[in-house]
């Protein structure tokens, strides 16, 4: 069974601070995605990483895929209240189109 | 363009009753996924379809759960009989054709089920 563990589970920070969220597994994934979910809505894709060691930037968000394609991180620089939400990583099981979601990190950014 | 449409948005029922959740995927998408989300267990994959055919139903909790996709524009998830532990938000998602294993999942707004 493929599992994706995220840490931390909860994070409450002040506006302007930096933070990093981790997504770890013992399984190899063909690709890894990060989604953000707001209350009452479904998750929305932020980014997809495919190659081991790949780094992608989306404004103040930086995503990295581990060299062995088993883990990933999301770094937010100068967090803003609009970044508040549930962040989910999702791995695509190799050889399938099965998307496994991580346990989630609930972020709250205080003004 | 319309996104993934789920109904009902909210359902409150009593233990033992049958529950049917419905999903209309985005037109042209060839994969459809059903997930269940709870605080304790997060977002769990229940089953997914490709071109209306179930590919992996290993996440379906037990025989009380069943899912069908009679055509490319409609899917149902049925729980019979329902139990309080089935209370959760159920999401349907679809994926565009030809995006291999990097395709984006497009989620509906979810169906919040409460079983009393």
Q: Is A90–B102 a contact, with Cβ atoms under 8 angstroms apart? A: no
pLDDT at A94 > cutoff 90: no
Least CB-CB distance to B45: which of A41, A88, A98?
Answer: A98
> pLDDT band at residue A95, thresholds of 50, 70 and 90?
confident
Q: DSSP for B34-98, please give it.
A: EEEEETTTEEEEEEEEETTEEEE-TT--STTEEEEEEETTEEEEEESS--GGG-EEEEEEEEETT
Question: In this complex, do A92 and B101 lie within 8 Å of one another by their Cβ atoms?
Answer: yes
pLDDT exceeds cutoff 70 at B105: yes
C-alpha–C-alpha distance, residues B47 and B57, integer Å: 4
| pLDDT > 70 in chain A, percent | 99
Banded model confidence at residue B102, pLDDT cuts 50, 70, 90: confident
Strand bridging mode B10-13 / B111-115: parallel
Domain that residue A89 falls in? 5-110
Mark yes or no for CB contact A88/B43 under 8 Å.
yes
Q: Is pLDDT of B1 > 70?
A: no
Give percent of chain B above pLDDT 90. Answer: 88
What mean pLDDT comes out for the span A40-50? 95
pLDDT at A80 over 90: yes
- Where does the pLDDT of residue B36 fall: very low under 50, low under 70, confident under 90, or very high at 90 and above? very high
At A60-71, the pLDDT tens digits run: 999 999 999 999
CATH at residue A11:
2.60.40.10
Q: Which of A31, A45, A88 sits opposite B101 (nearest CB)?
A: A31
> pLDDT for B5-24, tens place per residue?
999 999 999 999 999 999 99
Nearest to B91 by CA among A99, A32, A9: A99
Number of domains in chain A: 1
Look at residue B68 in the predicted model and tell me its pLDDT.
97
Residues of A in contact with B50 (CB under 8 A): 97
Measure the CA–CA gap between B115 and B82, rounded to whole angstroms: 7
* A105 bridge partner residues: A87
User: pLDDT value at position B7?
Assistant: 97
Please give the Cα distance from B22 to A90 (Å, whole number): 24
Using CB atoms, pick whichever of B4, B50, B105 lies closest to residue A99.
B105
pLDDT digits (tens, 9 = 90+) for A2-23: 789 999 999 999 999 999 999 9
Give pLDDT, residue B56.
Answer: 95
Q: Using the structure block, give the residue that is written with the tokens 């939400």.
A: A85
Per CB-CB distance under 8 Å, the chain A contacts of B43 are 43, 88, 101, 104
Q: Min CA distance, A39 vs chain B (Å)?
A: 10
């Amino acid at each position: 069974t493929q599992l994706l563990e995220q840490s931390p589970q909860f994070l409450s920070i002040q506006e302007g601070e930096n933070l990093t969220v981790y997504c770890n597994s013992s399984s190899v994934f063909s690709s890894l995605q990060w989604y953000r979910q707001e209350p009452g809505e479904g998750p929305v894709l932020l980014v997809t990483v495919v190659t081991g060691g790949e780094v992608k930037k989306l404004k103040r968000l930086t995503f990295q895929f581990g060299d062995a394609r088993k883990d990933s991180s999301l770094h937010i620089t100068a967090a803003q209240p609009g970044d508040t939400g549930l962040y989910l990583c999702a791995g695509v099981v190799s050889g399938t189109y099965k998307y496994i979601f991580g346990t989630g990190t609930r972020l709250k950014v205080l003004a | 363009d319309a996104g993934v449409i789920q109904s009902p948005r909210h359902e409150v029922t009593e233990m033992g009753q049958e529950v049917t959740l419905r999903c209309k995927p985005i037109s042209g998408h060839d994969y459809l996924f059903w997930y269940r989300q709870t605080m304790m267990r997060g977002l769990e994959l229940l089953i997914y379809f490709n071109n209306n055919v179930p590919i992996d139903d290993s996440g379906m909790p037990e025989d009380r759960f069943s899912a069908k996709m009679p055509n490319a524009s409609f899917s149902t998830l049925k729980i019979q009989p329902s139990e309080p532990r089935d209370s959760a938000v159920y999401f349907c998602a679809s994926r565009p054709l030809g995006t291999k294993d990097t395709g984006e999942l497009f989620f509906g707004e979810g169906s919040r089920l409460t079983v009393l």
